[in-house]
Amino acid sequence: MDTEGRHHDRVARRREKFSMKAGIALWILALGLAAGCGWFETRDPLPGEPVAPVPWESPIEPETVLANMDSAMAYLGRGVTNYVKCFGDTFHFYPYANDADVLAQQGKPGAYDDWTLSVEAEVVDLILNSALSVDVQFEGHDVIADNTEYKIWEEQYTLDVQFRNGGQGTYEGVARLEIRIDPSQADQWFITRWQDFLRPGQPDSVQTWGWLRGQERQI
- CATH code for the domain of 134: 3.10.450.50
For the segment 51-59, the average pLDDT, to the nearest whole number, is 94
Number of domains in the chain: 1
Mean pLDDT of all residues in the chain? 85
Question: If pLDDT is split at 50, 70 and 90, which confidence band does 219 have?
Answer: confident
Question: What does DSSP say about strands 131-146 and 87-94: parallel, antiparallel, or unpaired?
Answer: unpaired
Residue 10 is predicted with a pLDDT of: 47
Residue 21 is predicted with a pLDDT of: 44
Whether 117 and 89 have beta carbons less than 8 Å apart is answered as yes
pLDDT at 46 over 80: no
pLDDT at 32 over 60: no
Range of the structural domain that residue 77 is part of: 3-216
Question: If pLDDT is split at 50, 70 and 90, which confidence band does 45 have?
Answer: low
Tell me the percentage of the chain whose pLDDT exceeds 70: 78
pTM of the model: 0.78
- In the chain, beta strands by DSSP E: 87-94, 131-146, 150-163, 168-182, 188-197
pLDDT at 202 over 90: yes
Whether 136 and 73 have beta carbons less than 8 Å apart is answered as yes
For helices 62-74 and 3-36, the axis angle rounded to 10 degrees is 10
Question: If pLDDT is split at 50, 70 and 90, which confidence band does 40 have?
Answer: very low
Closest CA to 76 of 134, 150, 6, 19: 134
Cα–Cα distances in angstroms (integers) from residue 63 to residues 14, 36, 150, in the given order: 11, 41, 12
Question: What does DSSP say about strands 188-197 and 168-182: parallel, antiparallel, or unpaired?
Answer: antiparallel
Question: If pLDDT is split at 50, 70 and 90, which confidence band does 49 have?
Answer: confident
pLDDT at 56 over 90: yes
Containing H/E element for 214? helix 209-216
Whether 179 and 149 have beta carbons less than 8 Å apart is answered as no
> What number of CA atoms fall less than 13 Å from residue 121's CA on the CB side?
13
